[in-house]
Every structure is written in C-alpha cells, then in structure tokens.
Amino acid sequence: MSAAEIGDVKIAPGVLELIVGLAATEVEGVAWLSGGAIGAISDWLKRGPAKGVRVDFQDSAVAVELHLVIEYGSRLPDVARNVQENVKKAVESMTNCTVNAVDVYVDGLSDRGAR
C-alpha cells in the first residue's frame, strides 16, 4: 500500500518557518533573527526561532525570506550564502518541498564580543 492510498500529509507554514529559523541560526556568524522595522508587529506575535522568517508557497515550491543580525567581524556575503545553503538543505531534506529562493536581509550587526 502506497502513501497516496493512505492519505495526504500537509505541513503547516509555522513548521516550515521553524525549520528555516533553526537552520539559519545554526550558521556561524548569525547572531539572531530579526524582523526589521516592517516586521516589528509580526515579530511581536512570533517569538523564538521563527521570528524574522517568512515562507511563501509558490505552486509546488516555497520561497523563503529571512532577516538576520550578523556578528560583527563576520564576512557578510559568506554568512548569507551559508545561511541560504543551510536553509535550502534543511527544508528540502525534512519536508521534500522544493525551495525556489532563500532571500537573506542583513538588518544589523551584533557587537557582542567585538570589544
């Protein structure tokens, strides 16, 4: 009996946002997720690792937008690229969804440990 004969599996957007947030914060150089000025209200509603994450479903794929604060002294393009790769890998391996895009916005720098 195949899975299609048993029923459907649906993944809530909040689960995808959580996967994205956790995968992003695993990357060295990421201080934390940020919602930016526009995301302040949604950030207030979202607490934890999904803060600053937006997932849009496009046909059979997803597009991800996330806002980060990067640790001072980190090379921004390298951290952003590593975040993109880690998020894509995590979402695709855990959900079997195709990731079209991972857009990373660097909203600030953390000066923790810079002194």
pLDDT by residue (tens digit) across 86-112? 999 999 999 989 999 999 999 999 987
Indicate whether 103 belongs to any domain: yes
DSSP single-letter state for residue 105: E
- For the stretch 12-51, pLDDT in tens is 888 999 999 999 999 999 999 987 544 444 444 445 556 7
Q: Is the pLDDT of residue 55 over 50?
A: yes
The answer to whether residue 40 is domain-embedded is: yes
The CATH number covering residue 34 comes to: 3.30.70.1350
How far, CA to CA in Å, does 25 sit from each of 6, 8, 9, 67, 92? 36, 31, 27, 11, 17
Q: Is 31 inside a domain boundary?
A: yes
The parent domain of residue 74 ranges over 22-110
User: Do the domain assignments include residue 35?
Assistant: yes
> Total structural domains in the chain?
1
Model pLDDT, residue 79: 98
CA distance 62 to 44: 24
Return the bridge partners of 98, or none.
61
**Residue 49 placed within a domain:** yes
**105 occurs within a structural domain:** yes
